[in-house]
Amino acid sequence: MKIEIAEATSLKGKVTISGSKNATLAIMACSILTDELLILNNVPNISDVQMLAKLLREVGIDVVYLEKKHKMYLRKKKLKIRLQASDVKQIRASYYIMGALVAMRKNFKTCYPGGCDFAKRPIDYHLEAFRKTGYKIIEKNNFLFFKKQRGHSQNQNFYLARKSVGATINIIYISVLKNTSTIIKNPSLEPEVMQVITLLNQMKAKITILDQDTIEIKGVKKLLGTIFDIMSDRIEAGSYMLLACAAHQSEVRIENIYLPHLREVIQTIKELGVSIKEGKNYLELKKTFPLKGIEKEIAHYPFFPTDLQQILTVVCTQAITTSILSDEVYPNRLSHLLEIQKANGKVKSFKKKIYIEPSNLFATTLYAHDLRCGFACIVIGAVAKGITTIENAEVILRGYEELTNKLQKLGIRIKMK
């Protein structure tokens, strides 16, 4: 699929933000952990969510998704595990199915997850945790065979060498239904992880954040069904906020957001020289003056998020002075640099830093290597002189609901081909 996007001399309009992709994907897997009905509100209609729903059906979960209402009903009938490798490979979040099935002490066959391959993204922390909780995992012909061994009767501690969203959530899943206690040291406490903890505690789990470095899980016998509202997607919100910063002129209102999750993004936008008016659950951005270059360290929450680094790189090409970015989470998250250079952008990486010079971008054909690189290409198209074509555009639909509709409401001329 291709997108054609014309230069936007000025952006004016309103965009309403959808539910969080990364919170939704983790939370959907919780349906495996209970026999009762799980009802989710504000579920974004994006292809990653549709794919995870397919995977859940492949293990025996009844999933009904009312797309127009953004409402999803999930209920475990009887676990019958028939995971299709071709589906597992579509998304990274398929590793949550592994964690939930290990929690239910099932034997099953699966394969490595797929998803955005902007850098080497191992799942060694996950597999190590599964083995530590009493599983033998055999890798053969690109499949992973999970075989349960002895159960565990003593309390367990897990230490994560790096803060990992997925591994933290999976260790919570494999601990929440035990008859022992578990400690996780150096967990990720990103907002998406906090939402999973909130949901599970609402399902009568016993999960406590002891301090910034420690999560304690006291296992319970059973989790109850519940109704839960997915939080607003802070990465989608930040993507549109940064698009407004890049455009030559803009007056944009971003609605249905949760401001505390966007503190560092708001701060960064102010450093770029764009004025922001904060409302209760909305923001108004007004860009009239040229951007100033910035130096920014990208790191785990509450720092500037890695998922917006690629888009921020494009924004910085529109500044009148040099910028320097360093992504501490994924130092090799650089797939977008080639695309920016194709459009005459003066960007380069050196010793884990990205250097960005003021650049006049021009239209060309770009390739969306991964989800956030894809949105970065959209920002290039919005500021580059001429009509930009973006190939492999379907990857952008993995994480941005109603993409063309939302962009058109800001005055961007865009066509899906």
Catalytic residue positions?
Answer: 116
CB nearer ligand EPZ, residue 121 or residue 204: 121
Q: What angle do CA 111, 165, 393 make, to 5 degrees?
A: 65
Q: Does 129 help bind ligand EPZ (rule: CB under 6 A)?
A: no
Q: Does 164 help bind ligand EPZ (rule: CB under 6 A)?
A: yes
Would you say 303 and 331 are in contact if contact means Cβ atoms under 8 Å apart? no
CB of 167 to ligand EPZ, least distance (A): 5
CB nearer ligand EPZ, residue 182 or residue 310: 310
Rounded to an integer, what distance in angstroms lies between the CA atom of residue 41 and that of residue 223?
Answer: 19
**Among 18, 20, 22, 323, interactor with ligand EPZ by CB under 6 A:** 22
**Among 70, 76, 92, 261, interactor with ligand EPZ by CB under 6 A:** 92
Which amino acid is present at 234? R
Q: Which stretch binds ligand EPZ (CB under 6 A): 21-29, 59-67, 255-263, 344-352?
A: 21-29
Q: Does 24 help bind ligand EPZ (rule: CB under 6 A)?
A: no
Q: Does 330 help bind ligand EPZ (rule: CB under 6 A)?
A: yes
Would you say 349 and 355 are in contact if contact means Cβ atoms under 8 Å apart? yes
Q: Which stretch binds ligand EPZ (CB under 6 A): 10-18, 123-131, 269-277, 338-346?
A: 123-131
Nearest of 51, 170, 48 to residue 116 by alpha carbon: 48
For the chain, what percentages of helix, strand and coil (3-state, to nearest 5) are there? 35, 30, 35
Which amino acid is present at 415? K
Q: Does 126 help bind ligand EPZ (rule: CB under 6 A)?
A: yes
Q: Does 125 help bind ligand EPZ (rule: CB under 6 A)?
A: yes
Would you say 158 and 201 are in contact if contact means Cβ atoms under 8 Å apart? no
CA-based end-to-end distance of the chain: 6
CB nearer ligand EPZ, residue 93 or residue 315: 93
Strands across the sheet with 135-140, in order?
108-110, 143-148, 135-140
**Among 40, 61, 167, 199, interactor with ligand EPZ by CB under 6 A:** 167
CB of 33 to ligand EPZ, least distance (A): 18
**Among 51, 200, 329, 414, interactor with ligand EPZ by CB under 6 A:** 329
Sign, CA dihedral 307-310-311-315, equals: positive
Rounded to an integer, what distance in angstroms lies between the CA atom of residue 255 and that of residue 67?
Answer: 20
Rounded to an integer, what distance in angstroms lies between the CA atom of residue 1 and that of residue 171?
Answer: 37
Which amino acid is present at 11? L
CB nearer ligand EPZ, residue 122 or residue 260: 122
**Among 117, 124, 229, 297, interactor with ligand EPZ by CB under 6 A:** 124
Chain residues in the site for ligand EPZ (CB under 6 A): 21-22, 25, 92-93, 116, 121-126, 162, 164-167, 188, 190, 306-307, 329-330, 371-372, 399
